[in-house]
Amino acid sequence: SFQENLIQRLGPDEGRALNVLGKDFFYLVDQLATKLFEQHEKDAPLLDLSESEFPWELQVFANQFLRECAQSSR
């Protein structure tokens, strides 16, 4: 999951501090990233990413997209 990946990359304290975003936010990131991965699984080489990096980058993209949507709706 995106939250687990964040905890691994940021460390437990910083990763868990993001709990304020709520479970629904992390669920949406995971669902969007999974759907993108299913539809574009073979596109990793086009982006010069390894197969292991691609799911993480999709999670990062989904995170940024959802945050932008939330900010623009204010």
Q: Where are the alpha helices (DSSP H) in the chain?
A: 2-10, 12-17, 23-40, 53-72
Q: Is the pTM of this model over 0.95?
A: no
Q: Within a domain: residue 38?
A: yes
What is the domain range of residue 40?
A: 22-74
Per the structure, the count of domains in the chain is: 1
| Main-chain dihedrals φ then ψ at residue 49, nearest 5 degrees | -120, 150
Q: Within a domain: residue 55?
A: yes
Q: Within a domain: residue 13?
A: no
Task: Estimate to the nearest angstrom the gap between the alpha carbon of 36 and the chain centroid.
Answer: 11
Q: Within a domain: residue 17?
A: no
Q: Within a domain: residue 49?
A: yes
Q: Within a domain: residue 16?
A: no
Mean pLDDT per 10-residue section of the chain, whose length is 74 residues: 86 81 88 90 84 87 86 74
Q: Within a domain: residue 39?
A: yes
